[in-house]
Amino acid sequence: MSEQLEIDDAIGTLDADGIRREKRGRRAATIRRFTSHPSLVVGTVVLLALIAVALLAPSIAPYSPTRTSLVNTLAPASWAHPLGTDQFGRDVLSRLIHGTRVSLLVAFWVAAISLSVGTVVGAIAGFTGGWVDRIIVLFNDILMAFPGFLLALAIVAARGSSLDSIILAVSIAYAPRVAAVMRSVALTIRPRPFVEASRAIGLTPTQILLRHVVPNSLPPVIVVATVSAASAILAEAGLSFLGLGVKPPTPTWGNIIADGQTAITTNPLISISAGLCIAAMVVALNLIGDGLRDALDPQMRRQTARLL
Amino acid sequence: MLRHAGHIFLRLAMTGVGIVTVAFFLMRALPGDPAATMLGDFATVESIATLRAKLGLDEPVWWQYLLFLRHAASGNLGSSVVTGQPALVEVFASLPPSAALALSGMAIAIALGLPLGIVSAVRQGSWTDMIVMVVALAGISFPVFWIGLASILVFAHWIPMFPALGASNATNWLTQLYHLVLPATVLGISVAAYIARLTRSAMLEVLSQDYIRVALAMGVPRRRVIGKLALRNALVPILAVIGVTFAWSFGNAILIEAVFSRPGLGSMLLKAILARDYQLVQAGVLVLASAVVVINTVLDLAYGIIDPRLRAL
């Protein structure tokens, strides 16, 4: 009797919960329709806009980013200088526009290098297995033990600061992360029937790797590469802020923040605007990463939403 | 369990040798001559040669490496070119303020990030989830040094609640703590954003499992399903997240020390880099990487306790 009651009770709660879940599920679906895929769209649009700014920098910037004017230092915002001038009288807006170039270059090269190196190394590790895999994993773990920013700092310290050093440093820090993801995906692909079939019809391991493993694992790896590009921008900005980045007077967003630091109480606009630029680019890349992840893995998301 | 621990310690030893190796080749085998870098732009060929001989850089690389390994094993990482002190002594002397910053920052980050990540996973798609995720996205996207500068502007200048300097000479620990509030909070917030995002996806992964569905279908109250079943199963990935963020917070701490002019390992490293005191840089990098490895080893051991399935591995 009491058992029957308990079951009834359970069914009752299940129903109420079910309705509530259904409602929440629908609302979630609506919200998601406006967030997950639009995040991809918004991210891409912002990134493309920033690429356009970088390419057209000399023609959009109202002044030369390095033209100093000692009579007009730390000027407040005005029509002539929408974001004011820095302590050397350089136009902050023009410097920000030109600064886009360094950030984008670093992001692009780090993504390209860590993607190509990481994919190859990770695929070899995951697909060959055995000793090769163990050595690669150990090497990967060792590199990942170094905090990424610290590793970059040390490499720049050893090589001297230049754009090349920064790109190399940040790539060494982030390629292992791409490799780790690539390896784990390769591991899940290896036992799949189509791989066995290709082996049966006589494809060499290299052919299988190139034809099946790499294309199939590319989506999650691209997500990681996007995130590495975002981290690369932050790392470059950090290095430039510490004075270890691209040498001044070349404007970078990081060194603009550092320039503005001394005048933070009187002209906060310098540092604040440069920080917003960095955030815009990093948000754009993260949105693309998040959007891709959701778009690539809709199954799991939808399932959870229905459940709770 | 013992086997699990044995594997972990074996890996610890190998990783230890590994990070010493990487630190060595990072500084010496990369293109570019450390002696030339140390002496700067105005060095003569002779002075570079003299310094190379003094640092042992004219020996073959493999011999230098073996020497370095032997010295590192006995705790000798060379000495600072500037002060002549053993590099390791200098590093440990600068460690306490950095450790205080990193640990208090991590405490704030975990206290903030974990619950927010769990709540937004459980209420996926709700307004709470949306707001937490937008804030967390901002948190990982703004440079941490910029958040620090902004916090100085707002909480030290506009509303003078906290000192702009992240440290004081006072021996009074309360004053020290007062100076630590702003930097630690900034570090905490930046890392919390990261923890919240990763916790959310770890939790979502667990919540999509069949046994959760079964428990719910059987009428186990939601609260219990989440608290007992989901959370315990998500604990391993969440701990992994925290392990990753430790490395991350060390990197951020360097930048925060620079913003708040706080003494510590970060500012020492920076000074060493600018003075081209590369033995010191090497020692500092090694100590931080070792700290990350030790923390991750402790976490690896913890996984075995939390998740009995991992002990068999």
Q: What are A103-154's pLDDT values in tens digits?
A: 999 999 999 998 889 988 988 888 888 898 888 988 888 888 787 888 888 8
Q: How confident is the model at residue A162 (pLDDT cuts 50, 70, 90)?
A: confident
Length of chain B equals 313
Min Cα–Cα distance to chain B from A145, Å: 6
Q: Cβ A244–B273 below 8 Å, yes or no?
A: yes
Residue B182: pLDDT over 70: yes
In whole angstroms, what is the distance from residue B98 CA to residue A106 CA?
A: 29
Min Cα–Cα distance to chain A from B241, Å: 14
Residue A68: pLDDT over 80: no
Token reading at A63: 């002044």
Residues of A in contact with B31 (CB under 8 A): 159
Tell me if chain A has a CB within 8 Å of the CB of B160: no
Q: Cβ A146–B34 below 8 Å, yes or no?
A: no
Please name the residue ranges forming H helices in chain B: 2-28, 34-39, 45-54, 61-73, 87-93, 95-122, 127-141, 144-152, 173-207, 210-217, 222-224, 231-259, 265-274, 278-306
Min Cα–Cα distance to chain B from A121, Å: 18
- Whether residue A249 is preceded by a cis peptide bond, meaning omega within 30 degrees of 0, is yes
Residue A298: pLDDT over 90: no
pLDDT digit string, tens, across residues A229-267: 998 899 999 998 988 888 878 889 988 998 888 888 888
Min Cα–Cα distance to chain B from A22, Å: 12
Q: Which of residues 32-91 of A touch B (CB under 8 A)?
A: 32, 35
Q: Which residues is A91 bridged to in the sheet?
A: A85
In whole angstroms, what is the distance from residue B22 CA to residue B108 CA?
A: 32
User: pTM score, two decimals?
Assistant: 0.83
**What is the model's pLDDT at position B276?**
75
- Chain A CA closest to residue B267: A242
The helix/strand/coil state of B92 is helix
**What is the model's pLDDT at position A36?**
55
Please name the residue ranges forming H helices in B218-277: 222-224, 231-259, 265-274
Q: Cβ A142–B19 below 8 Å, yes or no?
A: yes
As a whole number, mean pLDDT of residues B22-28 equals 76
Tell me if chain A has a CB within 8 Å of the CB of B194: no
- b/e B27-51 (16+ beta carbons within 10 angstroms → b): bbebeebbbbbbbeeebeeeebeeb
CB B212 within 8 A of CB B261: no
- How far separated are the first and last CA of chain A, in Å rounded? 30
In single-letter form, the type of residue at position A125 comes to A
Tell me if chain A has a CB within 8 Å of the CB of B111: no
In single-letter form, the type of residue at position A75 comes to A
**What is the model's pLDDT at position A108?**
92
- The partner residue sitting opposite B32, judged by closest CB among A9, A143, A159, is A159
Residue A28: pLDDT over 60: yes
Tell me if chain A has a CB within 8 Å of the CB of B18: yes
Residues of B in contact with A301 (CB under 8 A): 124, 204
Tell me if chain B has a CB within 8 Å of the CB of A234: yes
As a whole number, mean pLDDT of residues B87-114 equals 90
As a whole number, mean pLDDT of residues A63-67 equals 80
- The partner residue sitting opposite B150, judged by closest CB among A13, A14, A272, is A272
**What is the model's pLDDT at position A301?**
47
CB B36 within 8 A of CB B72: no
- Cβ count within 10 A of residue A263: 17
Q: How confident is the model at residue A305 (pLDDT cuts 50, 70, 90)?
A: very low
In eight-state DSSP terms, residue A82 is T
pLDDT digit string, tens, across residues B244-256: 788 788 888 889 9
**What is the model's pLDDT at position B31?**
53
Tell me if chain A has a CB within 8 Å of the CB of B131: no
Q: How confident is the model at residue A276 (pLDDT cuts 50, 70, 90)?
A: very high
Min Cα–Cα distance to chain B from A287, Å: 8
**What is the model's pLDDT at position B187?**
94
pLDDT digit string, tens, across residues A76-94: 777 777 888 877 778 888 8
Q: How confident is the model at residue A277 (pLDDT cuts 50, 70, 90)?
A: very high
Nearest to A118 by CA among A222, A25, A201, A16: A222
Residue B303: pLDDT over 90: no
Q: Cβ A149–B254 below 8 Å, yes or no?
A: yes
In whole angstroms, what is the distance from residue A256 CA to residue A233 CA?
A: 14
> What average pLDDT is seen over chain B?
83
- Cβ count within 10 A of residue B175: 14
Length of chain A equals 308
Angle between helices A214-241 and A163-189 (to 10 degrees): 150
